[in-house]
Structure 1
Amino acid sequence: MSHAATASTRIVRIEITHHQLDLDPPFPASWDSQPRRKFPATIVRVHDDAGHVGIGSGDAMYGFADYQHLFIGTDPLDLARHSAVLDNIGFHAGRPWPLDIALWDLAGKIRGEPCWKMAGGRGQRVRAYASSGVHRRPDEMAEMARHIVTRGFPALKIRFGRPRLADDLDALAAVRDAVGSQLELMVDCNQGWRMPWDTAAPWTVAKALEVARELEKHNVYWIEEPLHRGDYDGYAQLRRMTPLRVAGGELTRERYEFDQLLARECLDVFQPDVACTLGMEGMRQLAQAVEAHGKVFTPHTWGNGIGLAANLHLTAGAASAPFIEFPYDPPEWSIARRDFMLQQPIDIDAQGWLTLSDAPGLGLTLDEAVLNATQSARSTYA
């Protein structure tokens, strides 16, 4: 995706800053045994010699200083080249994809074009599903689900992982009883990966099938990450044994792994996150491959508003997803917390749609005062 004809600028500086938002009350994420008392955000800014600045966010980018020289002095519009270099860096030094988001934002600003058009221009809106993050009691889950209906969401994702499976199933039943058919319901089993300190073994196929059979009774829209991310045989087997859609791949890293998931018929729903995997160009190509195989492409977006916006632009422009994830579980996970670095937090309309504008790039403006107030030496959960 080189645009040499319009490329008159060069990248002159890459700036990476770290920020921490204090969380009171803490956020007890269902996938983490340690409640979050801080929310970290790493902001990447890419400057060209004409004064344009592209922004991205995602992983902390530690160690990236050794590779910045690979981009300084280059054409900011040579997005295919940048994606290939970042893919190589991703093999050697973690996940550098926040830079790809910033490069796309920069390219959009140079070209005067929104990222959703750069991604393919198929559309500029996607309907959101509310993605909960807290293990609440059944009555609290029911109350939350009723709130989700009033906000206009068409669907809600519930997290499993309580002390007993029976507790999870009680929460699901309470939600279905409370809202009936007003919401599609997804269930995230969180078996694909673990936090570094959480060492429980992932479910077996037998366990995943036991859960799937219970979810079938509640007409669940999909079952997410019921197995370890690399259990290709297990996923293929589970798909043959349940009519439920099977979703996964949120932190799968490399394209060849997705090709295996496609070839072996492991998933119905592919959920990579552009802030963690493949970047904007790689995800655009993957979305095409997923849909060519008759599968659904709808990213994981659990991060901050910059990552949400990048995934939304990519999905609207390159795919035809029925829903996109919208992290939302107030008060512990509010829109204000999630998007604290933005002047205008991202929200749905009354019918649950997220609609993108024609503003160049990602169309976001950082809240520099908040970023100054929250700046820290490093970005860590604490």
Structure 2
Amino acid sequence: MMITAVEAIPYAIPYTHPLTFASGSVATADHVLVRIHTDEGLIGEADAPPRPYTYGETQTSIANVVQDLFAPEMIGLDPLDRQKVHAIMHRTIHNQVAKGAVDIALWDLAGKAFGVPVHKMLGGWTDSLRVSHMLGFKPAEELLEEAHRFGEEYGITTFKLKVGRRPLHLDIEACRVLREGLGDNVEIYLDANRGWSANEAMEVLRRTDGLGLTLLEEPCDAKEAMSRRRLVERSPIPVVGDESVPTAGDASRELLSGGCNAICIKTARSGFTEATEILGLCTGLGVDVTMGNQIDTQVGSMATIAFGAAHRATAARAAELSNFLDMADDLLAHPLQIIDGRIAVRDLPGVGAPIDEDKLNRYRTDR
């Protein structure tokens, strides 16, 4: 089998409810569908979600780096020789989302070639994941209303609260209102998206002590090395690295330097290959992992499900999988369903995310 062509197709689908957080706001999914074609007619596919305010990648940059830099060197290779493709991509630094999409598309191809679901190839631990829902910047009562709705409609009992606002009492109030309104059986954890300083994060932890919060993700910029180390040492809950740990090298640096003591894995920026390396590092060191969401489409969420369901450690916590519900539409041919707070893997060869060609033609922006 040989790679004959690589496509990077830009498309745009609006959100019905924009998500706002400390580092940005998303109103439209300006994504890129990466497709790797072979001489046997098999096609590997993956979704690439640009997050320019976080990683600096844009829809245009992803399409260009995939088609102009990676594709010419990939054509003619066996798609099963993933390390050869990674060697090509490794020459270009950064561009993690572009690289991640290429890697996932290669795994999708491998699964289709062998007739095996990728979640089985990666480990096959379970057949479904618990779902965590992200709550963006809103007044506290609106956040509580949204959490109740997702609990009643979908059975979700884990919520990530986006924080990082100033003044701090806005987020502190939200924590208290959610805990009082949802009760003790619902998990609540925080994600500040680098919105605070380390000292502000310590103040928030002090003032929310007793509310049963379980995690604090990316409270401040990792460049605050000394203050952040002090925060990690004093925090009563794990401090999770996210934007600061896009690669295995970054994860090892932050964990060994004391910059965090848990890791958020996002397949959209690491693919499956580097996500496996990051996971191995974390399990070896005995630190918790979460499966994060890059405000993914259903296509992207299927990749998270495939990886998360494959491993015991990634399936231990609820995965961030529900934000596609705020999109007006999706490219996935068969929509995902959240039942009793869980999403099941699909017993299909590859990642299990076949594309609706009519929808792709409707939303693509290169024609």
TM-score by length of 2: 0.88
- CA distance 1:105–1:40, change in 2 (3 Å): same
Alignment of 1:1-382 (within 5 A): 9-23=1-15, 27-32=18-23, 36-58=26-48, 59=50, 60=59, 61=62, 62-64=64-66, 65-91=68-94, 95-132=98-135, 134-150=136-152, 151-191=154-194, 203-250=196-243, 252-277=245-270, 279-302=271-294, 303-321=296-314, 322-328=316-322, 335=325, 337=327, 340-350=330-340, 352-377=341-366
Matched position secondary structure for 1:216: coil
In the alignment, the residues of structure 1 paired with residue 260 and residue 96 of structure 2 have an alpha-carbon distance, to the nearest angstrom, of 28
Bigger CA drift: 302-311 or 180-189?
302-311
Q: CA deviation at 1:94?
A: 7.5
Structure 2 portions without partners, runs of 5+: 51-58
- What one-letter code is carried by the residue in structure 2 that aligns with 1:31? A
- CA distance 1:217–1:248, change in 2 (3 Å): same
Matched position secondary structure for 1:290: helix
- CA distance 1:355–1:76, change in 2 (3 Å): same
Structure 1 portions without partners, runs of 5+: 1-8, 192-201
Matched position secondary structure for 2:133: strand
In the alignment, the residues of structure 2 paired with residue 206 and residue 367 of structure 1 have an alpha-carbon distance, to the nearest angstrom, of 48
In the alignment, the residues of structure 2 paired with residue 174 and residue 93 of structure 1 have an alpha-carbon distance, to the nearest angstrom, of 37
Q: CA deviation at 1:70?
A: 1.5
Please say if residues 265 and 291 of structure 2, whose CA atoms lie closer than 8 Å, have aligned partners that are also in contact: yes
In the alignment, the residues of structure 2 paired with residue 206 and residue 293 of structure 1 have an alpha-carbon distance, to the nearest angstrom, of 27
Q: CA deviation at 1:187?
A: 1.0
Please say if residues 339 and 345 of structure 1, whose CA atoms lie closer than 8 Å, have aligned partners that are also in contact: no
- What one-letter code is carried by the residue in structure 2 that aligns with 1:184? E
- CA distance 1:21–1:339, change in 2 (3 Å): closer
Q: CA deviation at 1:46?
A: 0.7
Bigger CA drift: 287-296 or 253-262?
253-262
Q: CA deviation at 1:91?
A: 4.3
Q: How much is the aligned-residue C-alpha RMSD, in angstroms?
A: 2.3
Matched position secondary structure for 1:318: coil
Question: Which residue of structure 2 lines up, in the alignment, with residue 195 of structure 1?
Answer: none
In the alignment, the residues of structure 2 paired with residue 282 and residue 36 of structure 1 have an alpha-carbon distance, to the nearest angstrom, of 26
Please say if residues 90 and 96 of structure 1, whose CA atoms lie closer than 8 Å, have aligned partners that are also in contact: no
Q: Deviations over 1:177-204 (max 9, x none)?
A: 111113100111111xxxxxxxxxx533
Bigger CA drift: 88-97 or 231-240?
88-97
Q: How many residues align?
A: 351
- CA distance 1:163–1:377, change in 2 (3 Å): farther
Matched position secondary structure for 1:276: helix
Matched position secondary structure for 1:82: helix
